[in-house]
Amino acid sequence: MSLPPVRPGKIVTMGEILVDIMAVERGTGFRTPLNLRGPFPGGAPAIFIFQTARLGHPAGIISCVGDDDFGWMNVERLQRDGVDVSAIRIDDDQVTASAFVRYREDGDRDFLFNLKRSAAGQTALDPPARALLADCGHFHVMGSSLFSFHLIDEVRKAIEIVKANGATVSFDPNIRKEMLNIAEMRAGLEFMLQYCDIFLPSGPELMMPTEAKTEQAAIAELLGLGASCIVVKRAAGGASYYDATRALDVPGYPVAEADPTGAGDCFGATFVTCLRQGLPVEDCMRLANAAGALAVSRQGGMEGISSLEEMRALIARAS
Ligand code: ATP
Ligand code: MG
């Protein structure tokens, strides 16, 4: 299936806005007192939409935060960078979501989330959200946002609205092992696979939704569900692009890794934005790899966001 036509309008996402609080010391879990750094503005959808706006594309987010410092820090930051914040509801009865993050010695991460019972858990399609969707040309969903039946239902309604308007949809499973225990997540993933035009898994997430034994078989199966293209993120190895007629492996850019948080989000936002701006797929892939590499080279999810000039400079240095 070829890529669907571009409907003019904003790139919109829907999901958690939170603060990241990071352990300074490496190790496992949070059962002993340790030094922490933060709060950093974050949440995968928030980082995605921030990167979209940084690339000069009109962008908006549907979310909910508490009337507290964690919430306002995020809202002010997003607004300053040109994201439409009209559909972020401020709920004075709830606390803004948070994620504690600790890196293990092997580079893997442990998370401690406060999501379901936070303001983010109250995200809903209220009138400002519906107004934003009316102006949506592309809708992006993060799997991490499908953490309750309520959120899955609201995202499903949003997709029905934007699809009826001719908008396209992208989906990044962004699976955290802590979230797989949430029974609702799997239902949400299956639902999204049927509706997305652009599927953006990272390595192992490609195989998870299928029974396939090889990557090639998984790609064929997933393209058969209706996606126009699949982009597999491969960390330092770069990324691969697949559609019905071609496969393209694009190497990553070597950088010193400071913090992997947000790499996938910056990658996805850059790929989707550049594709909508009409760049050839090869360029979209190179720029997205550059966005991911720049993101891992800086600490803090939001701090990893970069401009088109910075991405082009990294590409020029590497060639
Ligand atoms: P996240 O942890 O944000 O969810 P992800 O698992 O979705 O990330 P990754 O494959 O880790 O996605 O990273 C996304 C992209 O960022 C990669 O495809 C690559 O372009 C770039 N990237 C990630 N890690 C590195 C690295 N160590 N060096 C260079 N580029 C990297
Ligand atoms: Mg990810």
Q: Which two tokens stand for residue 221?
A: 């199966």
pLDDT cut 70: percent of the chain above it: 97
Using one digit for the tens of pLDDT, what is the confidence trace for 103-160? 999 878 899 999 999 999 999 999 999 999 999 999 999 999 998 889 999 999 999 9
Residue nearest to atom 7 of ligand 1 (CA): 264
- Nearest in space to 286 (alpha carbons), one of 306, 262, 307, 267: 267
* The model's pTM: 0.95
Q: Separation of 93 CA from ligand 2 center, angstroms? A: 30
Ligand nearest to the CA of 253: 1
Q: Model confidence over 265-282: pLDDT tens digits?
A: 999 999 999 999 999 999
Q: Where are the beta strands (DSSP E) in 70-224?
A: 88-91, 97-103, 109-114, 136-142, 168-172, 198-199
If you take atom 20 of ligand 1, which residue's CA is the nearest one?
289
Residues 6+ apart with CB under 8 A from 81: 50, 53, 54
Token digits for 58?
């009109």
Question: What is the C-alpha separation between 98 and 61, in angstroms, rounded?
Answer: 18
**Ligand 1 mutation pick, 51, 207, 250, 296, max ligand atoms within 8 A of CB:** 296
| 147 or 1, which is more confident | 147
Where are the alpha helices (H) located in 55-176, listed in sequence order? 69-80, 127-134, 149-164
Q: Which two structure tokens, joined as six digits, stand for 207?
A: 């195989």
Q: Closest residue (by CA) to atom 23 of ligand 1? A: 235
User: For the chain, what percentages of helix, strand and coil (3-state, to nearest 5) are there?
Assistant: 40, 25, 35
Q: Which helix (H) or strand (E) holds 11?
A: strand 10-14
Please say whether the beta carbons of 16 and 176 come within 8 A.
no
CA of 203 to the centre of ligand 1 (A): 10
304 lines ligand 1 (CB under 6 A): no
As a CATH number, domain 10-15+42-95+121-318 is: 3.40.1190.20
Phi, psi of 300 (to 5 degrees): 95, 130
Least confident of 59-68, 82-91, 197-206: 197-206
Where are the chain's structural domains? 10-15+42-95+121-318
The answer to whether residue 1 scores a pLDDT higher than 60 is: no
Residues at Cβ < 5 Å from ligand 2 ion? 174, 264
